[in-house]
Amino acid sequence: MTDPHAPTSKFLSYILRHHPESIGITLDSQGWANIDTLLAQAAQHNRPISRAQLLEIVATNPKKRFTLSADGSQIRAAQGHSTAQVAIAHNPVAPPNTLYHGTATRFLDSIRSQGLIAGSRHHVHLSADIPTAQKVGQRHGKPIVLRINAAAMHAAGHAFYLSDNQVWLTDHVPAQYISEE
């Protein structure tokens, strides 16, 4: 069954993670956008979204990509930002012993030499379980799941964060902490 909200969800991800300026909005440093402004600007750019539709997307998105503020007046992407406007102040959290990263086999040579780097995003994204990592890897080509020795990284002083939607984040994963599943 296809998600009828997928096109709108992808649009919101594009705006709230990467290019808010494309519809004339500005995110604050924590990634928040005023919902009324977002809806008005989306409509002005031929992408009308009702408040009810927006709230349904937030509530039903299987990846929990979006977070509403406590008062319901603002929305943000939970993680995955590439825009310089946003630098969410995540609190460091001790990770589980092992985390996973799904990727495509074509990236292995680079990963073996450089480790996992954030690229255009603010953090490397890690999963707490293999099935989630496999799904992520499938989006990029022939998938492979990498095992991350998060306990050893943390003991060596690397910081980990847990996003609103339970994605583990870190700045970089050096190659010595990575093994192939």
Of 29 and 129, more confident: 129
Classify the phi-psi angles of 84: left when phi > 0, otherwise alpha if psi is within -120 to 50, otherwise beta: alpha
How many other CB atoms are found less than 10 A from the CB of residue 52?
A: 8
Give the pLDDT confidence of 115-132 residue by residue, as tens digits.
999 877 778 989 999 999
Domains identified in the chain and CATH numbers: 5-77 (1.10.10.970), 98-180 (3.20.170.30)
156's CB contacts (< 8 A; 6+ apart) are: none
157's CB contacts (< 8 A; 6+ apart) are: none
Give the pLDDT confidence of 1-25 residue by residue, as tens digits.
466 778 899 999 999 988 999 999 9
pLDDT of residue 90: 75
pLDDT of residue 15: 94
> The pTM is what?
0.66
Asked if pLDDT for residue 98 goes beyond 80, the answer is yes
pLDDT of residue 2: 62
> Which segments of the chain does DSSP mark as H helices, in order?
6-13, 35-44, 51-60, 108-114, 130-138, 150-155
Q: Which of 108, 126, 136 has its CA nearest to residue 173?
A: 126
**Distance between CA atoms of 27 and 37, rounded to whole angstroms?**
11
Q: How far apart are the first and last CA of the chain?
A: 30
Q: Tell me the average pLDDT of the chain.
A: 90
How many other CB atoms are found less than 10 A from the CB of residue 37?
A: 14
Give the pLDDT confidence of 41-96 residue by residue, as tens digits.
999 999 999 999 999 999 988 778 898 999 999 999 887 777 777 776 778 999 99
